[in-house]
Amino acid sequence: MSVGLVLVSHSRALAQGLADVARQMAPSVSIVPAGGTDDGGIGTSFDLISAAIAQADQGDGAILLYDLGSGYLTASTAVEFLDPEQAERVVIVDAPLVQGAVSAAISSQVGGDLRAVVSGALEARRADGPGGVRSLDDLDG
Amino acid sequence: MVCDAATTVAAIRAVAATVAEHRVELTHLDRDIGDGDHGENLSRGFTAVITKLAAGSPETPTAVLKLVATTLISTVGGASGPLFGTAFLRASTSVGAAETLDGTAVAAALTAARDGVVARGKAESGDKTMVDALTPAVNAANAAADGGRGVPEVLSAAADAAADGAVATTPMQARKGRASYLGERSIGHVDPGAQSTAYLLRALAGAAAG
Ligand SMILES: [Mg+2]
């Protein structure tokens, strides 16, 4: 078992594509996309997210990452509807979606527990990336 | 007028009709400062509610409100699903097992609904959200209930205050939701969620007035 990931996005294609990317470095982690509305439109779906949590959490817990605010609202509603015992091991993390998913997936792949995977997602925002503008000061300098 | 399960269902039907009537307008408001789906999303949700009510009406106000909540949460697809869904869910919990509701119970349900929205969305007054319609509505409803008013007067006071609250969002700069990405460009537009909240309360008040 390992800690699973639920990727909440307003777009089915975005969530699916991100799952494909994250699985490359974490082939044994349950990474479940939950993008778009029930009929594949732009939006988020309580039912899709709930089903994704059920699939991602195999007992060791799961983290949810999201793209925009209303994704958080739907995700937090879904977590609230879980039975309390499961809700304790399902965590919504405010992290950059793509880099957070890859970083968290690797943390889980190497055997990290729920805390380690949450930490992995959060570290994505601090990780020293390969380059590019990192602040407005860089832009001016 | 007795406010029981049947009148609660009638009030929800009135809300669904209002949402359908204002669908295009709400979507246009959301296009100005959001993602342009508010009217469509709410309309989809309340259409699903009407379908469920047609399949069999719940027998208590709390059950009616819970059916609305879970249906909106499952079908709306935008931020208003969890927000309005949570509002109806908290209202459902607030009214408890009561067969009929008085003004005090309705004011308490509105208060619980607002508290649920705030807990879910973390918005404060002045953030240019539905809270800016809901909080004045809750204050007006509680004042009316404290003055011994019945359900129609409580809801009418809430609807008036929500309408004023929605208008008052126009000069605000959005600090929550998709509109917040627009920064100062969000100024000068009515918040779609505040507007739909005002319409919803107006429909409830109209139904209660008979
Ligand atoms: Mg919208």
A76 to B82: CB separation less than 8 angstroms, yes or no: yes
- Mean predicted lDDT score pLDDT of chain B: 96
What dihedral angle (degrees, nearest 10) is formed by the CA atoms of B84, B88, B90, B93?
-170
Domain that includes residue B30, residue range: 5-209
The answer, yes or no, to whether residue A134 has pLDDT greater than 90, is no
Query: Which residues of A are identified as catalytic?
Result: 10
Kindly report the CATH number assigned to the domain that includes residue B110.
Answer: 1.25.40.340
A42 to B120: CB separation less than 8 angstroms, yes or no: no
Residues of A within 8 A of B85 (CB-CB) are 77
Looking at residue A130, its pLDDT comes to: 67
* CA A77 – CA B36 distance, rounded (Å): 23
Residues of chain A whose beta carbon is less than 8 angstroms from a beta carbon of chain B are 37-38, 41-47, 68-70, 73-74, 76-77
- Tell me, which fold does domain A4-125 have in CATH? Rossmann fold (3.40.50)
pLDDT band, residue B166 (cuts 50/70/90): very high
Mean pLDDT in residue range A44-69: 97
Q: Which residues surround ligand 1, an ion (CB under 5 A)?
A: B 30, 34-35, 37-38, 78
Residues of B within 8 A of A34 (CB-CB) are none
Nearest to B85 among A38, A44, A77 (CB): A77
A76 to B120: CB separation less than 8 angstroms, yes or no: yes
**DSSP letter (8 states) at residue B183:** G
- Mean predicted lDDT score pLDDT of chain A: 94
Q: What is the pLDDT of residues B80-135, one digit of tens each?
A: 999 999 999 999 999 999 999 999 999 999 999 999 999 999 999 999 999 999 99
Among A66-70, A82-86, A123-127, B148-152, name the one with the lowest average pLDDT: A123-127
A43 to B120: CB separation less than 8 angstroms, yes or no: no
Question: One-letter amino acid identity for B35?
Answer: D
Residue from B40, B70, B76, B180 whose CB has the most chain A CBs within 10 Å, to mutate? B76
Task: Flag whether residue B86 sits within 8 Å of chain A, measured between CB atoms.
Answer: yes
Domain count for chain B, please give it. Answer: 1
pLDDT band, residue A138 (cuts 50/70/90): confident
pLDDT band, residue A141 (cuts 50/70/90): low
Mean pLDDT in residue range A115-141: 82
- Structural domain boundaries in chain A: 4-125
Looking at residue A135, its pLDDT comes to: 79
B82 to A38: CB separation less than 8 angstroms, yes or no: no
Q: What is the pLDDT of residues B13-36, one digit of tens each?
A: 999 999 999 999 999 999 999 999
Looking at residue A128, its pLDDT comes to: 67
- Determine how many CB atoms are found less than 10 A away from the CB of residue B121: 24
* CA B84 – CA B116 distance, rounded (Å): 9
The answer, yes or no, to whether residue A112 has pLDDT greater than 70, is yes
> What percent of chain A is modeled with pLDDT above 70?
96
Mean pLDDT in residue range A95-124: 95
Map tokens 């509603």 to a residue.
Answer: A77
The answer, yes or no, to whether residue B193 has pLDDT greater than 80, is yes
* CA A139 – CA B146 distance, rounded (Å): 59
Map tokens 């920064």 to a residue.
Answer: B183
Query: Is residue B95 exposed (0-12), middle (13-18) or buried (19+ Cβ within 10 Å)?
Result: buried
Residue B192 Cα, ligand 1 centroid: separation in angstroms? 8
Residue B94 Cα, ligand 1 centroid: separation in angstroms? 28
Map tokens 């509701």 to a residue.
Answer: B101
Q: What is the pLDDT of residues A3-24, one digit of tens each?
A: 999 999 999 999 999 999 999 9
> What percent of chain B is modeled with pLDDT above 90?
96
Mind telling me how many Å the CA of B107 is from chain A's nearest CA?
Answer: 24
pTM: 0.93
Looking at residue B1, its pLDDT comes to: 67
B60: three-class secondary structure by DSSP: coil
